[in-house]
């Protein structure tokens, strides 16, 4: 590609992002762009010969091994996880689960999908009353609180890097009269402890130094439906969301930018997970055993 073409491409992308942040790009255009990106990404994995295909796969696996468990931790903290709580109450389901739910059938609501998935985690991790549980990257405590309520004899420890998430969970524990929960404010990539746990969850984080006992996949249809629900809730409550973001970010302009980011986040993920009827990008649940 010539320097001029590269430059023109960069300018076109910058212009697209600027229009998008101002809320001027119609949803259909964003969806079309996402479908093009998905197609490109799928082609990236397919090589003309089986040797090339295998070499490509091995080099991809090696690049994953050398990756950090979480990257740009400081930026992530501030921008992604300190989100105004009233907004999360609007967009997410009742447990504020910030990862996919499980939609058993077409009548499943977002709230039900969250509980279904939390129950599935417990079943597949073989949770029993009395165990000690560690929930890495616990978010607003969907799993931590679910386990603590369902198995009162379990001692559940959640780790998060977000002050507001910790405060939220501790408040919920008071309301629910739970004394079997501890929340530690820490960076999981640096966290060290002498304690041992019967079960360690890492929902939407990566664990290492373990062997695999069992592995399940769930169709991409589940997260795709969840992201569609989030978008619908956001759009149905647009006036309230605008008010929350204007007061949180301090201006109408910034509020519009963040509303657009969240809308694009939902649209892009629902498109990606829906591709090829949920058979290309999916959810993976892995039962590990410490070596
Ligand atoms: C995608 S959310 C998932 C939250 C929760 N597991 C759930 O399913 O609702 C990722 C969570 O991990 C936390 N997190 C991300 N990087 C972390 C780190 N380096 N140390 C501790 N927590 C981290 C975030 O604050 C957030 O709560």
Residue 265's contacts (CB-CB under 8 Å, 6 or more residues apart) are 227
Mean pLDDT of the chain: 91
Assign 99 to helix, strand or coil.
coil
What was the pLDDT predicted at 189? 85
* % of the chain beyond a pLDDT of 90: 71
- Flag whether 234 is in a domain: yes
Span 200-219, average pLDDT: 81
Residue 72 lies in a domain: no
Return the residue whose CA atom lies nearest to atom 13 of ligand 1: 137
Measured in Å, residue 3 CA sits from the centre of ligand 1 at 40
Indicate if the pLDDT at residue 51 is higher than 90.
Answer: no
Residue 254: what pLDDT?
93
Residue with tokens 């929960």: 181
Give the integer Cα–Cα distance in Å for 202 and 189: 12
pLDDT for 190 beyond 70:
yes
Domain holding 58, by residue range, is 3-67+218-290
Number of domains in the chain: 1
Cα distances (Å, whole numbers) of residue 21 to 14, 255, 268: 11, 10, 15
- Does 208 score more than 90 pLDDT? no
b/e burial code for range 95-129 (CB count within 10 A of at least 16 → b): bbbbbbbbbeeeebebebbbbebbeebbeebebee
Confidence grade of residue 26 (pLDDT, cut at 50, 70, 90): very high
Identify whether the C-beta of residue 87 lies closer than 8 Å to the C-beta of residue 98.
Answer: no
What is the phi/psi pair of residue 151, to 5°?
-125, 85
Does 105 fall in a domain? no
Which CA distances in Å does 249 have to 20, 45, 137, 200, 253?
18, 40, 25, 36, 9
Residue whose Cα lies nearest atom 4 of ligand 1: it is 139
Classify the C-alpha dihedral 106-110-111-113 as positive or negative.
positive
Question: Is 209 inside a domain boundary?
Answer: no
135 CA distance to ligand 1 middle (Å): 10
CA separation, residue 58 to residues 18, 53, 71 (Å): 38, 9, 22
The CA distance from 159 to 245, in Å, is 27
- pLDDT at position 121 is 97
Count the residues in the chain. 291
Q: What is the pLDDT of residues 116-163, one digit of tens each?
A: 999 999 999 999 999 999 999 999 999 999 999 999 999 999 999 999
Residue nearest to atom 26 of ligand 1 (CA): 139
| Ligand 1 atom nearest 98 alpha carbon | 9
Domain assignment present for 17: yes
Confidence of residue 80 (pLDDT cuts 50, 70, 90): low
**Which long-range CB contacts under 8 A does 227-232 form with residues at least 24 apart?**
227/265, 227/266, 227/267, 227/269, 227/270, 227/273, 228/266, 228/270, 229/93, 229/110, 230/91, 230/92, 230/110, 230/266, 231/263, 231/266, 231/267, 231/270
Q: Per DSSP, what are the bridge partners of residue 290?
A: 210
User: What's the distance, Cα to Cα, between the start and end of the chain in Å?
Assistant: 48
Full-model pTM? 0.86
Q: Could you give the CA distance from residue 122 to residue 117 in angstroms, rounded to a whole number?
A: 9
Residue 55's pLDDT is what?
A: 87
DSSP 196: -
Domain for residue 146, yes or no?
Answer: no
- Examine residue 147 and state whether it is found in any structural domain, yes or no: no
Structural domain includes residue 262: yes
Is 290 a residue whose pLDDT tops 80? no
**Which residues are known to be catalytic?**
266
What pLDDT shows up at residue 67?
72
Q: How far apart are CA 8 and CA 263, in angstroms?
A: 27
Going by C-alpha positions, the residue among 196, 208, 206 that lies closest to residue 132 is: 196
Share of the chain above pLDDT 70, in %: 93
Give ligand 1 pocket residues (Cβ under 6 A). 70, 73, 76, 81, 97-99, 137-139, 142, 159-162, 165, 187-189, 203-205
């Amino acid at each position: 590609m010539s320097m001029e073409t590269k430059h023109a491409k960069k300018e076109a992308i910058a212009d697209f992002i600027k229009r998008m942040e101002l809320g001027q790009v119609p949803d259909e255009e964003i969806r079309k762009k996402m479908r093009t990106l998905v197609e490109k990404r799928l082609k990236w994995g397919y090589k003309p010969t089986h040797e090339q295909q295998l070499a490509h796969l091995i080099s991809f696996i090696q690049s994953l091994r050398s990756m950090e468990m979480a990257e740009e931790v400081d930026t992530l903290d501030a921008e992604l996880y300190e989100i105004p709580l009233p907004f999360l109450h609007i967009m997410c389901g009742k447990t504020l689960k910030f990862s996919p739910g499980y939609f058993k059938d077409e009548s499943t609501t977002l709230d039900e999908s969250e509980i279904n998935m939390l129950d599935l985690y417990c079943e597949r991790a073989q949770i029993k009353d009395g165990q000690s549980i560690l929930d890495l990257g616990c978010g607003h405590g969907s799993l931590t609180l679910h386990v603590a309520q369902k198995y009162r004899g379990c001692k559940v420890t959640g780790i998060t890097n977000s002050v507001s998430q910790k405060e939220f969970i501790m408040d919920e524990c008071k309301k629910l009269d739970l004394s079997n929960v501890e929340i530690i404010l820490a960076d999981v990539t640096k966290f060290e402890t002498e304690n041992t746990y019967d079960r360690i969850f890492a929902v939407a984080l990566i664990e290492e130094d373990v062997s695999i006992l069992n592995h399940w996949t769930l169709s991409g249809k589940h997260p795709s439906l969840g992201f569609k629900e989030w978008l619908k809730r956001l759009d149905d409550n647009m006036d309230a969301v605008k008010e929350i973001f204007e007061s949180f970010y301090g201006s109408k302009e910034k509020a519009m930018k963040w509303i657009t980011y969240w809308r694009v986040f939902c649209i892009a993920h629902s498109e990606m997970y829906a591709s090829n009827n949920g058979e290309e990008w999916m959810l993976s649940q892995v039962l590990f055993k410490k070596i």
